[in-house]
């Protein structure tokens, strides 16, 4: 199983409406430090939002918009790979990544340039599928 880094702590998410109320209070001649304490927002975060003229960006993950395969497609591919391994036709890591690239091209997904240039998928698929452990096949 590949090593996957696990975060030890989670960043606290501050609701957008609280940030906007704090920005409004500071813009009405409030002090940054007291407002940050009152709304329980880190002072430097509040200063950063003020420098951005009150624009609070959506801080949600960009992963979903950059994801090539849907969860269902990844699950189907994972099931196919486990079935083929049980039939003694296991694929190596590189063959698995090439299969992922070919599958993405077959279903006409938008793929990154480095996939097209190398004709191989990145290692992300294997990292997201811990139950797969591709080995060098016995046949070749």
pLDDT (tens digit, 9 = 90+) per residue, 43-75?
A: 998 898 888 876 666 655 555 667 888 888 888
Give me the domain span that covers residue 47.
16-51
Report phi then psi at 23, rounded to 5.
-65, -40
Tell whether 83 is covered by a domain: yes
Both 100 and 77 in one domain: the answer is yes
> What pTM was computed for the model?
0.56
Both 81 and 116 in one domain: the answer is yes
Tell whether 86 is covered by a domain: yes
Q: At residue 102, does pLDDT exceed 90? A: yes
Alpha helices in the chain (DSSP H): 16-27, 32-39, 43-51, 63-66, 71-86, 93-106, 113-118, 124-128
Both 68 and 47 in one domain: the answer is no
pLDDT band at 139 (very low <50, low <70, confident <90, very high): low
Q: Looking at the 3D structure of the chain, how many domains does it have?
A: 2
Tell whether 2 is covered by a domain: no
Going by the DSSP 8-state scheme, the letter that residue 14 receives in this structure is P
């Amino acid at each position: 199983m590949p090593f996957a880094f696990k975060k030890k702590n989670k960043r606290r998410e501050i609701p957008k409406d609280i940030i906007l109320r704090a920005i409004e209070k500071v813009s009405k001649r409030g002090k940054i430090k007291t407002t940050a304490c009152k709304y329980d927002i880190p002072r430097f975060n509040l200063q950063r939002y003020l420098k951005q003229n009150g624009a609070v960006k959506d801080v949600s993950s960009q992963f979903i918009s950059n994801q090539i395969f849907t969860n269902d497609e990844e699950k189907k591919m994972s099931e196919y790979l486990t079935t083929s391994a049980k039939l003694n036709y296991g694929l190596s890591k590189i063959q698995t990544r090439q299969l992922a690239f070919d599958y993405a091209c077959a279903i006409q997904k938008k793929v990154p340039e480095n996939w097209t240039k190398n004709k191989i998928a990145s290692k992300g698929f294997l990292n997201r599928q811990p139950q797969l452990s591709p080995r060098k096949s016995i046949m070749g």
